[in-house]
Structure 1
């Protein structure tokens, strides 16, 4: 059963496709005829969705070629060549040939420095980039600052309440 595209246009060869999983995005590169190539932990099956969180526990990943609709499963996806305004994409033939040559290979994997987004951006632009990682660190930093702020506020409130109780005695 072929899934209809949930994106404004059908992907072109060499396009980056962002698949919206629960809590993160999985990135694939379109190589034509409904197929994508992507980097995934060996234990992950194509439409893994949330089980892909297991990727946090691995240091190796397999380059796979699957149908886009199978990899996306029930998740939304879109073409997102987000760095095209900043970096020139490599020639489509080079992108696709290199991606195809990597299928079946085990690659080093690290969620912060060698993830699926790094993999596809290196193929398209010749350099590995991942905003997911930067965004996660920024959100993590904001969360830590937010928690620290809550802790400081709680301490101040506790201090004011304790002082008020002492004054009432």
Structure 2
């Protein structure tokens, strides 16, 4: 019997939102082409913790980064998730990419409840800042 072959993931399209599952929460990025994504990465003040850690929720600043999708994802599962396309009209892909690229390198305030990576990508795609994960945050963080 042959071992199951893994099929390659389809290439995301320009402006697609990428959801990277990291435990109970997800990290979000926007695909800008050529294998790259733009994402909002919290700057952790705690040594040894990166944006993928739950400890990054303690960060109060974040930087917009452009990195290879494979580097941002690592070994975590991910998918294209344009889940609000039925509620909001997405901007044209070229505009989403242009907006995202223009912000690379900029620092922003990071607030897990009001200005996180999911708010960031939804603002880029739809012009609407929203995060569906916020309602799932344990009450201790509120």
TM norm structure 1 = 0.71
- Alpha-carbon distance in 2 for matches of 1:5, 1:108: 39
Q: How is 1:17-166 mapped onto 2 (pairs within 5 angstroms)?
A: 17-43=18-44, 48=50, 50=52, 52-136=53-137, 140=139
Query: CA-to-partner distance for each residue in 1:87-144, whole Å, 9 max, x for gaps?
Result: 000111111011001000101110011000000000000011110012336xx5xxxx
Looking at secondary structure, tell me which structure has more helix per residue: 1
- Alpha-carbon distance in 1 for matches of 2:109, 2:40: 10
Does structure 1 retain, via aligned residues, the 8 Å contact 2:43–2:51? Answer: no
Q: What 5-or-longer segments of structure 1 have no aligned partner?
A: 141-169
Does structure 2 retain, via aligned residues, the 8 Å contact 1:62–1:104? Answer: yes
4+ residue runs over 6 A deviation: none
- Alpha-carbon distance in 1 for matches of 2:135, 2:114: 10
- Alpha-carbon distance in 1 for matches of 2:51, 2:131: 19
Does structure 1 retain, via aligned residues, the 8 Å contact 2:44–2:59? Answer: no
- RCO comparison, higher one (Cα < 8 Å, 6+): 2
Larger Rg: 1
Does structure 1 retain, via aligned residues, the 8 Å contact 2:119–2:129? Answer: yes
Q: What 5-or-longer segments of structure 2 have no aligned partner?
A: 1-5
Change in Cα spacing, 1:49 to 1:61, as seen in structure 2 (3 Å) is closer
Looking at secondary structure, tell me which structure has more strand per residue: 2
